[in-house]
Structure 1
Amino acid sequence: MANILVVDDELGIRDLLCEILNDEGHTVEVAENAAQARAARLRERPDLVLLDIWMPDTDGVTLLKEWSAAGVLTMPVIMMSGHATIDTAVEATRIGALAFLEKPITMQKLLKAVEQGLARGSLRKLITPASSVVSNASLVLDTSSTVSNQSAADFFPQVTQSFMLDKPLREGRDEYEKAYFEFHLAKENGSMTRVAEKTGLERTHLYRKLKQLGVDLSKKRS
């Protein structure tokens, strides 16, 4: 389970998110403003941060910029707001936020975003030692019907992913795919059935792909 930092100036929101995440087995640290969030990030080294945009002292986007500029945005950050615009969501994602959730946040959408964030964070830790990796995740929006009427091009930012860019395309792609499948195999305790479901591949195709990439299956169970 993960260590999650919840940053929100509303006590009710902090308590609700803390209760939900604790029930899922996570360790939760809370902060009601940017100053407390800075201290908690240094003290706890969270695996993921849920960060409110509108706060009285320093807003969440400004804090996100601060962490990014200082080179300490090493954990996935999910932005939260009940009043943010598409431009705000796009700006936050360009800076480095993984996702944006609109309040009121349902339990299902919260847990899905947290699961995706932790998975992305684990993958980043897995592949970072191999090269200098700059990988901002694609925007995950939970927004109103107004947003849903926009095309993807309207609110998905152009995100740069440099994964072993000094290598030929095929070689770099193969190394990424190998890391991707090894991550999911580890996460699913070697279950080929669950990995196939998770990645959307048929088991036969998955086996062929893993053998092609040179993934060691000797310790994997089916």
Structure 2
Amino acid sequence: MANILVVDDELGIRDLLSEILNDEGHNVELAENAAQARNARTRARPDLVLLDIWMPDTDGVTLLKEWSTGGMLTMPVIMMSGHATIETAVEATKIGAHSFLEKPITLQKLLKAVEAALTRTPVGTGPAVHTRKPGDGGSVGRMVPVMDLTVESAMTGGQSLPPVMEMGPQARQLFELDKPLRDARDEFEKCYFEFHLAKEGGSMTRVAEKTGLERTHLYRKLKQLGVDLSRGKRGA
């Protein structure tokens, strides 16, 4: 169990991440802007911070840099953004971020990144390549691990994710009808949501839009039905 600070100006994302992380056994502190994040960082001393980039007062990269230069980056930080780019991911990891999550955040990627950050698993362990800015001439430039050059690797803490089960559009499931209606309905709903989770690559946002459910309600429904949301979290 860890103390995790979630910093995001969107209420829905704060609530959803809090719900998921609480169910995983973690204590969660919430902040909606950089000012609240600074106070929470000093007061709660979190084991991990999930930090959004675009916020109304101070952006996440600036806050990360502030913590780094002030000697306060003593915990792993996972950056979050709906507009992730390779350049932003590399910049954040150079400053000291552990990894980068691109929104919409899937459950598998969230849990994988949180586990990697809490165990301090290095982001990039692959071979390094040379990078050179235009106009540098023949200079070698800096060395960047290959895995750091993709948003996907930064998002997952440098660990590969297991493939999501593929289910074609014609997938069918046989149900036993000789049982109470409640049991038959739960069985159908579990199959229904597993199908859409697989089809949407595990994205809670897209499944919520597809099924017409609010994300927090959807998450609770999946837990109630026994849908395995952490499949692949600890690796096979």
Residue 2 of structure 1: CA displacement? 0.2
Q: Distance in 1 between matches of 2:7 and 2:84?
A: 16
Structure number with higher relative contact order (C-alpha < 8 Å, ≥ 6 residues apart): 2
Structure 2: where are the runs of 5+ without partners?
126-144, 151-233
Shift of 1:139: 5.1
Partners of 1:21 and 1:153 in 2: how far apart?
27
User: What is the aligned residue count?
Assistant: 134
Separation in 2, partners of 1:93, 1:32: 22
Specify the alignment match of 1:138 in structure 2.
Answer: 123
Distance 1:112 1:21 in 2: 12
Higher helix content, 1 or 2:
1
CA contact (8 A) 2:4 2:49 kept: yes
- Please report the RMSD computed on the Cα atoms of aligned residues, expressed in angstroms: 2.4
**Contact map agreement 2:90 2:148 (CA 8 A) in 1:** no
Could you report, residue by residue, the CA deviation over 1:8-47 in whole angstroms, capped at 9, with x for unpaired residues?
A: 0000000000000000010000000000000000000000
Question: Amino acid of the residue matched to residue 152 of structure 1?
Answer: V
> Superposed, which structure 2 residues align to 1:94-173 within 5 Å?
94-120=94-120, 137-138=122-123, 152=146, 155=149
Residue of structure 2 in register with 1:62 after alignment: 62
For normalisation by structure 2, the TM-score amounts to 0.53
Report the equivalent of 1:2. 2
Structure 2 residue aligned with 1:44: 44
Matched, 1:30 2:30: yes
Residue 73 (structure 1) aligned with residue 58 (structure 2): no
Q: Contact between 1:98 and 1:139, CA under 8 Å: does it hold in 2?
A: no
How far is 1:154 from its partner? Answer: 7.4
Residue type at the aligned position of 2:146: A
Distance 2:88 2:118 in 1: 23
CA contact 1:31–1:37 (8 Å) conserved in 2: yes
Question: CA-to-partner distance for each residue in 1:45-64, whole Å, 9 max, x for gaps?
Answer: 00000000111110000000
Q: Which secondary structure does the structure 2 equivalent of 1:120 belong to?
A: coil
Q: Which structure's CA Rg is the greater one?
A: 2
Displacement over 3 Å in runs of 4+:
none
Q: What per-residue deviation string (whole Å, max 9, x for no partner) do you get for residues 127-153 of structure 1?
A: xxxxxxxxxx4259xxxxxxxxxx937
Structure 1 runs not aligned, ≥5 long:
122-136, 141-150, 157-197, 201-222
Inter-partner Cα distance in structure 2 for 1:12 and 1:153: 31
Cα distance change, pair 33–119 in 1 and its aligned pair in 2 (3 A): same
Distance across 2 between alignment mates of 1:52 and 1:154: 19
Change (3 A) 1:199 1:43: same
